[in-house]
Structure 1
């Protein structure tokens, strides 16, 4: 009898464990091998990927697959395509590319909204235009929200110093040491934290006075300064290095990447898309019927 109850108890325990795993695993089944069509999308849309050698591209692909295994990507009133998944995963991989064993432990789901939203998560005539945010509180902990349209624009235009996906994933990185405070974990040692804070506050003051080419949003909070300058670092590294050599040196230390040295391919501005052109999301529909109004 005791043996019977032991077996039943073990079976129930195993079932509950499997059920919990099913509830928390990403809904999308990631292919065991990196699909050639994914590789083509990365080559076409991800400037960072284009500038890697063959070994680096294989590592990038491996990290993309690992991210998609661990984090659910859910569309809210919009369809999630393979391109959407790859753009989201690439946003996550780029800042962590040089960290072999690092994962986003504070994140389990990314919600893609069709367009900008507000604090009430409304996309129709939003009172406040938000293109990305990291959730907090009991119901939104571990969740990121991104505007699908803005995510695509961030990778379509590599000349504007902006990439909302990278911006929000830098906030997640910032949070890994327990607080989103603009001081990344790599600089938490007193030896580096003090110079970083001094440099950050000095540049924030210049931004507020209109004497810096860094986006003014970086002057609002320390955590936004880190996220905005990181966008600049990955989007326009050579310009960033020439304009802000001290900041560049600090962020090179944070991300273990010398982006200005790696960059080879020219930047690109997004092509003008006609109403009847194929939609750039890869759906096969005409632009006017797919993402034109998203």
Structure 2
């Protein structure tokens, strides 16, 4: 019992100290002046947009940074980090013009991987790259700064930690992180989506899929892992998983990598 209580007390103390410091120092919402250049240099998704859509994307980035606080933990938060966090948030919901993350207030950016026992960045059990907070950490997200940057640095990769965690947040918007994003998914696609997830997880477990094995952990992890692939490598994803690609086009209301990138549908009820 003592072994369980100690980490909980440590975490509680950290949270209390965090909010105490934050109350003493008013947070300044920082929107970089060179957003366009940072996006052009570091975000392939943005470069695929037509000029009108680029302007809309930049506006969404600035809106996100105007109401979400990003804090560095043992690391400095640079303009590039702010833009990459915001891009991770905007990319999955770019097909929904009115979406706002009402279930998020703060993003903690760690200087390295961390563990989920005491959120330490030292020691041998540092395996976590990102997480969406629950309980005492409600409305908070934690991301590894190196992992965040790596997700955008190497454009041949299928993984993206920032997008992964924001997709979990979207999934959570209906009250349950279960891989069924009811706030985004039209009712007629729910049953085909659940059926496809089960089949896809089976294919991962039997070595018949190039989707990361972590996607076989649960329906929620499959949704997040598949979304990383969908947005980072839409060209490859469409070839290897055409049926899944078509379903995810409907879920996210967009066609990444296409000349007709953004569709124009009404925002579904329950946004954010």
| TM-score, length-scaled by structure 1 | 0.77
Is contact 2:70–2:106 with CA below 8 Å preserved after alignment?
yes
**Residue 44 of structure 1: which of 41, 44, 49 is its match?**
41
Structure-1 separation of matches of 2:173 and 2:191:
19
Structure-1 separation of matches of 2:150 and 2:259:
23
Ranges of 4+ aligned residues in structure 1 off by more than 4 Å: none
Structure-1 separation of matches of 2:164 and 2:103:
16
Structure-1 separation of matches of 2:26 and 2:63:
11
Corresponding position of 2:134: 136
**Residue 215 of structure 2: which of 208, 212, 218 is its match?**
218
Work out which of the two has the higher radius of gyration on C-alpha atoms and give 1 or 2.
1
Q: Could you say what secondary structure the match of 1:242 adopts?
A: helix
Deviations 1:188-224 (A, max 9, x none): 62x2111111111001011011111000000011000
**Residue 236 of structure 2: which of 220, 235, 239 is its match?**
239
Q: Could you say what secondary structure the match of 1:172 adopts?
A: helix
Corresponding position of 1:123: 121
Structure 1's unaligned 5+ residue stretches are 1-21, 265-294
Deviations 1:60-115 (A, max 9, x none): 11101110111100000111111110010000010111111111111000000001
Q: CA RMSD in A?
A: 2.0
Corresponding position of 1:81: 78
Task: Flag the 1:218–1:262 CA change in 2: closer, same or farther, 3 A.
Answer: farther
Corresponding position of 1:202: 199
Is contact 2:29–2:69 with CA below 8 Å preserved after alignment?
no
Structure-2 separation of matches of 1:218 and 1:26:
40
- In the alignment, structure 1 residue 165 sits paired with structure 2 residue 137: no
Q: Could you say what secondary structure the match of 2:29 adopts?
A: coil
Corresponding position of 2:246: 249
Q: How far 1:162 moved relative to its partner?
A: 0.5
Write the mapping of 1:1-294 to structure 2, written as runs, cut at 5 A: 27-30=27-30, 35=33, 37-119=34-116, 120-137=118-135, 139-185=136-182, 186-187=184-185, 189=187, 191-262=188-259
| TM-score, length-scaled by structure 2 | 0.83
Q: Could you say what secondary structure the match of 2:55 adopts?
A: helix
Is contact 1:218–1:228 with CA below 8 Å preserved after alignment?
yes
Structure-2 separation of matches of 1:86 and 1:198:
36
Corresponding position of 1:7: none
Q: How many residues align?
A: 238
